[in-house]
Amino acid sequence: MTPALRILVVSDVSPLPISGGAERVLWEEASRLHKLGHRVRVLSRSRADGVAETVEQEGVRIRHFPVDRRSPLQFARTSILEARRAAAHELAGTGADVLHLHQPYSGYGVLRSPAGRSIPSLYTFLSPAPLEYRSRVGMTGLHKGGWTRSLGIALLWILEGACLKRATRIRVLSNFSADLLWKLYRIPEDRIVRIPGGVDTERFQPAADRTAVRNALGLPARLPLLFTLRNLEARMGLEILIRAMAILRRHVPEALLLIGGMGSLRDDLESLTASLDLTDHVRFLGFVPDDQLPLYYQAADLFVLPTRELEGFGLVTVEALACGTPVLGTPIGATPEILLPLRSDLIFPGTDPDAIAKLILEHHHRLRSDLDGYQDLRNACRRHAFDRYAWPPLIKALEEVLLKATET
């Protein structure tokens, strides 16, 4: 019988509410470990509204520690110090057998504390924090340019490096991330464990009637219907995808692209769309509520991932596949690791608009000319997601790693 662990999960992001891939991975893992019989507590900084509350959801207690968001420097300082203080309180009370750390600010605060440094730990490395910060300059008031940008990047190199050095084991979601660990931090292979992100295959599954789903969402009967879900930021490649739509429209006048997500580039992307006369071919959805997300995956003929850099895993990729929706992605980061074992023709030959438009057009022609073949592809997408990325076996693998960490 597997012994019950006291697991303290520490994160820079709160799982309440789920607004992105990091939050979803955090919550899925914490809640599923609890269902396996472990005592799981989550410690994360307060949400943007600043409320430092403690709540319980599905048996998992989530404690938010306060942070000062008035400046990037104060935000970094309080993220570290308040995480350290909150962890000391948690560990003095009920203790922990193992720490599961996400992101460097809170991770550093806990690992550097007297209470945290003696406890075995697993650090989940989603993506290099300094490079993520660099790509998000201008995204929020806490991601500024100039000397603030340089200082923030330098600080994250130090903090993340220290977390990786002190953690008992390091978990990555892809071979791409494991390679980055060596290139950027010289982390040897024997300290790394690979457990990919997962998908709830009961919640994300093909629709019984895709036409009914489109009608429920108020979507027109146009072909192809493309969907992407991204932060509206430069590294996501949305400008390139919009320019590809200008090429695609010349061949397929009914093509429609739905862009879900929020970000600092929305005005620029909408202006680009208007300048290319694509307002009838590109629709901005804004934030897609979590309960509607499976519906948009189900409704789409193709999900498009035009990332330009730093695709550490791509949770949206496996969610779309689980809904039976083929994913076309750029040859960046971990995307080829997910898609190539399924089919090689799901990878764009490049990241330029011509390459993206060409492959979308090829799949559109197959969709129109070979409905049975297209359905076979949709079925294969679902099987691929279920066989490789369903949460239950991945959580068992994570449980085993946490157990082994306590034995060192």
Angle between helices 104-111 and 72-93 (to 10 degrees): 50
Q: Is the pLDDT of residue 139 over 50?
A: no
Across the range 348-358, mean pLDDT stands at 96
Q: Which residues pair with 257 in a beta bridge?
A: 226, 282
Q: Is the pLDDT of residue 35 over 70?
A: yes
Q: What is the mean pLDDT of the chain?
A: 92
Whether the model pTM is above 0.95: no
pLDDT digits (tens, 9 = 90+) for 368-383: 999 999 999 999 999 9
Per-residue model confidence (pLDDT) at position 69:
86
Of residues 205 and 75, the one with the higher pLDDT is: 205
Structure tokens belonging to residue 243: 């320019």
**Alpha helices in 112-169, H assignment, sequence order:** 129-135, 146-166
pLDDT digits (tens, 9 = 90+) for 156-189: 999 999 999 999 999 999 999 999 999 999 999 9
- Cβ atoms of 317 and 347 within 8 Å: the answer is no
Portion of the chain with pLDDT greater than 70, in percent: 96
Pairing state between β 169-172 and 192-194: parallel
Q: Is the pLDDT of residue 193 over 70?
A: yes
Query: What is the distance between the alpha carbons of residues 54 and 62, in angstroms, rounded to a whole number?
Result: 6
Query: Is the torsion defined by CA of 221, 222, 226, 228 positive or negative?
Result: negative
- The phi and psi torsions of 295 (rounded to 5 degrees) equal -65, -40
**Alpha helices in 167-194, H assignment, sequence order:** 175-185
Per-residue model confidence (pLDDT) at position 3:
85
Confidence of residue 196 (pLDDT cuts 50, 70, 90): very high
Tokens 């910060």 sit on residue = 133
Give the full edge-to-edge strand order of the sheet including 54-57: 54-57, 60-65, 39-45, 6-11, 98-102, 121-125, 169-172, 192-194
Per-residue model confidence (pLDDT) at position 351:
94
Tell which residue, 214, 212, 280, has the closest CA to residue 245.
Answer: 280
DSSP 87-120: HHHHHHHT--SEEEEESHHHHHHHHTSTTTTTS-
Distance of CA 210 to the CA centre of its chain: 26
Query: What is the distance between the alpha carbons of residues 273 and 211, in angstroms, rounded to a whole number?
Result: 27
Computed on alpha carbons and rounded to an integer, the radius of gyration of the chain in Å comes to: 22
Q: Which residues pair with 178 in a beta bridge?
A: none
Tell which residue, 35, 167, 34, 5, has the closest CA to residue 97.
Answer: 5
Query: What is the distance between the alpha carbons of residues 317 and 199, in angstroms, rounded to a whole number?
Result: 10
Query: What is the distance between the alpha carbons of residues 275 and 401, in angstroms, rounded to a whole number?
Result: 52
Tell which residue, 79, 62, 75, 181, has the closest CA to residue 126.
Answer: 181
Burial 186-213 (b: 16+ CB within 10 A, else e): ebeeeebbebbbbbebeebbbbeebeeb
pLDDT digits (tens, 9 = 90+) for 389-398: 999 999 999 9
Distance of CA 60 to the CA centre of its chain: 21
Structure tokens belonging to residue 325: 């929706």
